[in-house]
């Protein structure tokens, strides 16, 4: 059994620590958006593969402001959100949900100012332009024939834009993408594929592939976390029970295949992984499971999901994973993974890991 009073104290300590790390980052490197650390130091140049993470810094600043009420963090959160506004028309990435739900949507939720909401809506409308009629999916940043599981975390911004503008066609675009992803990237056992490839001429689905997993037929842990959280969010928006079932299937796969501490490797099917922990996948799953626990109608199931999420957070708030006392480490959450195959951010802090970890911690504290 988890000692809830102790967990509360650990989460409060984590927020304080994250606040200090964020203050150090924005003062030492103003207006920079690092993605991952190297030997614990945030990288401010070098290979990034794609620019999808810029919202997570501002998002953390908003979370710390919500948790502490410290106006310093609100001022910085507004500043780092403004730096992203031009990305609302960015047609080059599939990650506008990551960029704007973590920043401008939080800003709007706090202030109710319509100009903030307009930025979020425009970003959602922009993302919808990636939709491929043949195949019925939002194309990934890689190529026209590519569908990523990650996009399930971004498609809610299209649903949101559709709601705000009463745009039925926009809503249908998001809906069709979710059905396609569910059909082709989520397997019968609840595991997920990173990528699906389609025939551009016919729209026919061809095969499952991966960029960051062990094999094409294995299950990359962070991708499953994106699916679990994303399909839960989409169920909350649509009420379609198929999406709830998918999120639950993902949850059961995660819980049944992960060690008791709740932190998976980069891929569950990798034989003897060199890096046994992918903390960012665990952070995403924890936040997604807390959400799922509130969506299911069955209180017994809800308690199971919430208890497992608390187990993950209890593990991640230990010194093994949080850089408490390590003056040379600039991130918050250690043992994360960006891109193992490319050797980027391996066993390091990663910006989305810190963001979703802090989000889960704030949910435990009741301030998110």
CB 235 within 8 A of CB 244: yes
> Is the model's pLDDT at 49 over the cut of 60?
no
What residues does each domain of the chain span?
Answer: 4-365
Tens of pLDDT, residue by residue over 319-352, are 999 999 999 999 999 999 999 888 889 999 999 9
Write out pLDDT tens, residues 1-29. Answer: 899 999 999 999 999 999 999 999 999 99
* pLDDT at position 105: 99
Q: Write down the pLDDT at residue 213.
A: 84
Banded pLDDT at 50 (limits 50, 70, 90): low
Average pLDDT over residues 170-188: 99
Take residue 144 and report the two structure tokens written for it.
């026209």
CATH architecture of 4-365: Alpha/alpha barrel (1.50)
Structure tokens at 366: 């009741």
* Annotated binding residues for substrate: 95, 150, 210, 222, 226
* Best CA proximity match to 18, nearest among 318, 330, 319: 330
pLDDT at 48 (0 to 100): 46
pLDDT, tens digit (0-9, with 9 covering 90-100), for 285-299: 999 999 999 999 999
In the numeric block, the tokens 């109608």 are attached to 297
Q: How far is CA 21 from the centre of its chain?
A: 20
Q: In the predicted model, is pLDDT for residue 157 greater than 60?
A: yes
Main-chain phi, psi angles of 53, to 5 degrees: -105, 0
Strand 137-138, strand 131-132: pairing: antiparallel
pLDDT at 203: 98
* Active-site option among 95, 249, 314, 354: 95
How confident is the prediction for the chain on average, in pLDDT?
A: 96
Q: Of 31, 115, 150, 166, which one is the catalytic site residue?
A: 150
Lowest mean pLDDT among 51-55, 137-141, 158-162: 51-55
Tell me what pLDDT residue 46 has: 56
Question: Quick check: is 150 catalytic?
Answer: yes
At residue 170, the pLDDT reads 99
Is residue 366 over pLDDT 90? yes
- Average the pLDDT over each of 10-24, 46-60, 266-280, 332-346 and give the range with the smallest value: 46-60
pLDDT of residue 341: 85
Residues of each annotated binding site: 95, 150, 210, 222, 226
pLDDT of residue 47 exceeding 60, the answer is: no
- Are 332 and 17 within 8 A, CB to CB? yes
267 catalytic per annotation = no
Average pLDDT over residues 72-93: 98
Least Cα distance to 238 among 296, 175, 294 occurs for 175
Is residue 136 within 8 Å of residue 203, measured between CB atoms?
yes
């Amino acid at each position: 059994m988890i000692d809830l009073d102790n967990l509360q104290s650990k989460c409060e300590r984590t927020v304080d620590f994250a606040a200090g790390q964020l203050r150090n980052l924005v003062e030492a490197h103003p207006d920079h958006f690092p993605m991952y650390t190297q030997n614990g130091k945030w990288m401010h140049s070098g290979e990034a593969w794609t620019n999808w993470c810029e919202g997570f810094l501002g998002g953390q600043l908003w979370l710390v402001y919500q948790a502490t009420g410290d106006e310093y963090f609100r001022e910085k959160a507004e500043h780092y959100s403004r730096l992203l506004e031009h990305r609302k028309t960015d047609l080059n990435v599939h990650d506008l949900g990551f960029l704007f739900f973590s920043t401008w949507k939080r800003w709007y939720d706090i202030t109710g100012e319509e100009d903030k909401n307009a930025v979020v809506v425009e970003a959602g409308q922009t993302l919808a332009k990636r939709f491929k009629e043949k195949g019925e999916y939002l194309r990934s940043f890689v190529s026209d024939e590519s569908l990523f599981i990650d996009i399930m975390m971004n498609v809610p911004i299209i649903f949101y834009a559709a709601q705000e503008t009463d745009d039925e066609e926009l809503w249908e675009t998001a809906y069709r993408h979710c059905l396609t992803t569910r059909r082709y990237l989520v397997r019968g056992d609840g595991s997920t594929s990173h990528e699906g490839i389609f025939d551009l001429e016919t729209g026919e689905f061809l095969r499952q592939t991966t960029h960051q997993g062990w094999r094409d037929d294995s299950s990359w842990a962070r991708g499953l976390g994106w699916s679990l959280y994303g399909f839960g969010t989409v169920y909350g928006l649509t009420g379609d029970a198929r999406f709830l079932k998918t999120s639950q299937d993902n949850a059961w796969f995660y819980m049944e295949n992960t060690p008791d501490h709740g932190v998976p490797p980069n891929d569950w099917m990798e034989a003897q992984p060199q890096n046994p922990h992918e903390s960012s996948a665990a952070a995403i799953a924890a936040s997604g499971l807390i959400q799922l626990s509130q969506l299911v109608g069955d209180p017994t199931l809800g308690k199971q999901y919430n208890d497992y999420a608390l187990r993950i957070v209890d593990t991640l708030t230990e010194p093994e994973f949080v850089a408490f006392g390590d003056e040379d480490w600039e991130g918050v959450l250690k043992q994360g993974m960006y891109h193992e195959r490319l050797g980027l951010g391996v066993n390091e802090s990663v910006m989305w890991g810190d963001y979703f970890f802090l989000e889960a911690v704030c949910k435990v504290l009741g301030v998110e």
